[in-house]
Structure 1
Amino acid sequence: MNSSFWTVVGFTAKNKIRGKAFLITTLIIAVIMSIAINLPYIISQFSGEGKPTAVGYLDSNIEKAKSNLFTHTRIAAMLNDYYAKQEKPELKLVPIPDAGSAEANEKALKQAVADDEIQGYIEFSPGKESGFPAITYKSESLMESKVSASLSAALQVVKMEAVIGGGGLSEEVKALLTKPIELESVQISTVEGAGSIGQGKTKEQQGMDFGTVYVIIIMLFMAIMISGQMIASEITAEKSSRVMEILITSVAPLKAMFGKIFGMFLVVLLQMAIYIVVIVINMTLPQNADKLGELGIKLSDVDPVLLTYSLVFFLTGYFLFATLFAAVGSIVSRTEDLGQAVMPITMLSLAGFYICIFGGMNNPGSMLMKVCSFIPFFSPYAMVSRLGLSDPPLWQVWLSILILLATILAAGWLSAKIYRAGVLMYGKKPSLKELGKAMRAYK
């Protein structure tokens, strides 16, 4: 290609990068990403999540006098012991003195909640079968799923310990019964000649692959939406301002179209690189690095094979949609009509994104995902999901890539003909018949 192509590429890239819209949009999205990544930590700092939640219970003298195995006071003490063994206790049981009557006790418990001494309280009532009391957690909050789930798990452990402790078992037998089961999940491949993606990976490595796929899919969707709209809107704006008539005399239509596509690709590449740097910096902050460390996840666990294939599908997916956006932008004369014109392409990309996020991430080996892997408009999303979360045969991966490349060539050829005919067609949006006639007339 001669210098005119690179002139278009350089002009398109510099014009967008230097624009205020690019700088402001990139900065705003980077800030939003930083806040989203650190949101759990920010919430914990303002909500006091670092401290155990205070849960009250009635400290009854009558219960202390009973010899029942499951006295309320004993259960509360065992719950406190359970939470005291945690590195970061979730709950803390707070005794509320017995006021002498049911009404007075209820009033005292509610007053403790109102005074912020406790967040809620538990009430005991006789159990139906096992002798273990039925327990109710009361709180002002409409849904206290976190506290309820924690209490449910703790009470199950307390019940088991109380039964074991009352059965006269030795300490060795108790330790054997309460020792957690060790279960390891390892991904394998049952297909000969598969891409060797995911074989023998640990649970942590699989988690890293899941995160990589999630990020790649979102990045691809953002790249298509951002660049596609920019390519189409820039071509339409040049047509509406009649700049296209001057431009077309200096640069061949095909060089102008592919120059804009490649120039916009460089802009999007820079923008995606900035977002990736922002994500990596935020994930390496102490509060986030500690969380990842607890889960056994390290950025160094990213699979290079998965990353390579993801990059291939990212590039092919981008150029496929970019050529279509350029073609549509060339046949629209007014920016007001652009949104309606690009809607079908936007819906195709959106459909692929939703299929993978809501279907492929949970069941990458489903028939829907296998079929979508060979549909060019969906395969950049679908095959990345399958590569990261399962182990598709290598021939399917390369067949998907070849279909994508063939579709890009066909779309590029068709888009080039539409672009050559459409850039100088003004007025209302041309019909398919008028566009076809203009394409045949253009030599």
Structure 2
Amino acid sequence: MNRMGAVIRFTFMNKVKTKSFLITTLVLLLLVTVGLNIPYFIDKFSGNDDSGTKIGIVLENQPEIAASLKSYQDKAKAASYTFVEYDKGDAQGLKQEIDKGNIDGYLWFDNSEGGVFPAVSYVSNDESLSNGIYTFLQAALQSVKAEYITKGALSDEQIAALTAPVNIESQQVKNSVDGGSANDPKSDNEPTKAINYGVVYILIILFFMTSMMTGNMIAAEVTAEKSSRIMEILITSVSPLVQMFGKILGMFLVGLFQILLFIAVIGINVSLPHNQGVLAEFDLNLSQINLEVLILGLIFYVLGYFLYATLFAAVGSLVSRTEELGQAVMPITMISLVAFYIGIFSMGAPNSLLLKVCSYIPFVSPVSMIIRVGLGDTPVWEIIISLLILVAGIFVFGWLSAKIYRTGVLLYGKRPTFKELRKAMKAYKI
């Protein structure tokens, strides 16, 4: 155990101190930071900063609509947008107001076509409307339009209900086994929360990134040690099996360290003042996270990582030169891509036959079961069977990988054929 701990510590510290790891991690963190702040940067560089936006409305043009807009702005308490009233106005005078900075633009209503509601134009110096102004004006004018057409026939609550979008939730028909009505899906099935959908999506992305990045790092480190002949010295003090599993656990901690860094950077960026409004629009409530989804998802995530990590270590032990590593790990990379794409494109159909079949195939079951547990309706016995098959797969492929690793670390020159590898594996017992 002491030797295993020494290998884990050495693998972790040796990796996190390398320049390539530090540079790659910093670049990725920088890209995440830039990506989360792209809307803010676009508004800043394009001059479309909507904070304190003043929009002119002419009372002479449409006094009834102008009054309704002012009333909507007061009720909505939209501090970022303010309507400025003008008793009279012409195009030249309003342009001068824009040039002086008194307003950012103005609304012009054209009822020349004789429609029920006049056509609306927003006039400003910008080539196009920013997303913030467009969203605000669209919601405001939609409410004002309903009030304008009904002419006071509806109350404020009725107008709000009329203009509110209709949300359609997808429900699965359930058999009335437990006494619930078959025509009432909500009697025994709660709607899938958006936060749980996000948890599933994040777990799938993390599984793919961790298995690929840390898996390739494991294979590269084994190959580098083998090509530099350091392996011949290492095996005199530590057995090959301790080396393999020590490297796997050490790299797992490296991947976990990277994930924690990403979580910290994402948390800092979304908590910035200019991003809090965007986050509030999603109306996410962490209390809605289903602990069963989170716990089972993490279990499948960790088990899936160890399955792929053992294979990467075995393949790395067969390669004598780092130049050949990319071609050697290609089959494992393709399998992980298949699992990733099956998961991403099946999130809309968590109870599909494809995912049910994939739940019993160890290489794709981690992703499949994460989706089925988080978004679908999966019986407990299916979860247990999938877990047992996955654990059995880890033991089988772990034993096979250990045999390959034990033999491959001392095979130099060209890559051994299957026949040569089988002969060598028979000579050593695990």
Same fold flag (TM > 0.5): yes
Deviates more, 1:175-184 or 1:427-436: 175-184
SS of match in other structure, 2:411: coil
Deviates more, 1:305-314 or 1:113-122: 113-122
The amino acid that maps onto 2:111 is P
**Aligned counterparts of 1:263 and 1:284: Cα–Cα separation in 2:** 32
Q: Which runs of 5+ in 2 are unaligned?
A: 179-187
1:218 aligns with 2:199: no
CA 1:306–1:342 in 2, change beyond 3 Å: closer, same or farther? same
Deviation at 1:318, TM superposition (A): 0.6
Match of 2:310 in 1: 323
SS of match in other structure, 2:121: strand
Deviation at 1:317, TM superposition (A): 1.0
Match of 2:181 in 1: none
Deviates more, 1:253-262 or 1:294-303: 294-303
Match of 1:150 in 2: 136
Contact persistence 1:124–1:133 (CA under 8 A): yes
Aligned 1:6-405 pairs, distance under 5 A: 6-23=5-22, 25-26=24-25, 29-30=28-29, 33=32, 49=49, 51-56=51-56, 59=58, 61=60, 63=61, 72-89=62-79, 91-94=81-84, 97-99=88-90, 105=91, 117-126=102-111, 130-138=115-123, 140-142=126-128, 144-165=130-151, 169=153, 174-175=155-156, 177-180=158-161, 190=174, 206-279=193-266, 297-357=284-344, 359-405=345-391
**Aligned counterparts of 1:428 and 1:420: Cα–Cα separation in 2:** 17
**Aligned counterparts of 1:81 and 1:176: Cα–Cα separation in 2:** 14
CA 1:90–1:14 in 2, change beyond 3 Å: closer, same or farther? closer
User: Once the two structures are superposed, what CA deviation does each residue of 1:309-330 show, in whole Å capped at 9, x if it has no partner?
Assistant: 1221111111011011111211
User: Once the two structures are superposed, what CA deviation does each residue of 1:132-158 show, in whole Å capped at 9, x if it has no partner?
Assistant: 212234553346454334333322211
Match of 1:66 in 2: none
Deviation at 1:294, TM superposition (A): 7.6
Deviation at 1:339, TM superposition (A): 2.2
CA 1:175–1:117 in 2, change beyond 3 Å: closer, same or farther? closer
Contact persistence 2:50–2:81 (CA under 8 A): no
Deviation at 1:258, TM superposition (A): 1.8
CA 1:18–1:207 in 2, change beyond 3 Å: closer, same or farther? same
**Aligned counterparts of 1:51 and 1:239: Cα–Cα separation in 2:** 59
TM-score under structure 2 length normalisation = 0.78
Contact persistence 1:90–1:150 (CA under 8 A): no
**Aligned counterparts of 1:333 and 1:340: Cα–Cα separation in 2:** 13
CA 1:82–1:328 in 2, change beyond 3 Å: closer, same or farther? same
**Aligned counterparts of 2:412 and 2:99: Cα–Cα separation in 1:** 70
Deviates more, 1:178-187 or 1:215-224: 178-187
382, 388, 394: which one aligns with 1:408: 394
SS of match in other structure, 1:54: strand
Contact persistence 1:352–1:378 (CA under 8 A): yes
**Aligned counterparts of 2:354 and 2:113: Cα–Cα separation in 1:** 48
Contact persistence 1:186–1:201 (CA under 8 A): no
User: Once the two structures are superposed, what CA deviation does each residue of 1:383-430 show, in whole Å capped at 9, x if it has no partner?
Assistant: 212322233221222222222222222221222232233222223334
TM-score under structure 1 length normalisation = 0.76
Q: Which runs of 5+ in 1 are unaligned?
A: 64-71, 100-104, 194-198
CA 1:263–1:148 in 2, change beyond 3 Å: closer, same or farther? closer
Contact persistence 1:189–1:391 (CA under 8 A): no
> Matched residues, percent identical?
46
**Aligned counterparts of 1:131 and 1:113: Cα–Cα separation in 2:** 30
Contact persistence 2:54–2:84 (CA under 8 A): yes
CA 1:37–1:299 in 2, change beyond 3 Å: closer, same or farther? farther
Deviation at 1:25, TM superposition (A): 4.5
Contact persistence 1:83–1:90 (CA under 8 A): no
Contact persistence 2:117–2:149 (CA under 8 A): no
CA 1:286–1:93 in 2, change beyond 3 Å: closer, same or farther? closer
**Aligned counterparts of 1:112 and 1:340: Cα–Cα separation in 2:** 66
- What is the Cα-based RMSD across aligned positions, in Å? 3.9
Deviation at 1:21, TM superposition (A): 4.4
SS of match in other structure, 1:180: helix
CA 1:132–1:189 in 2, change beyond 3 Å: closer, same or farther? closer
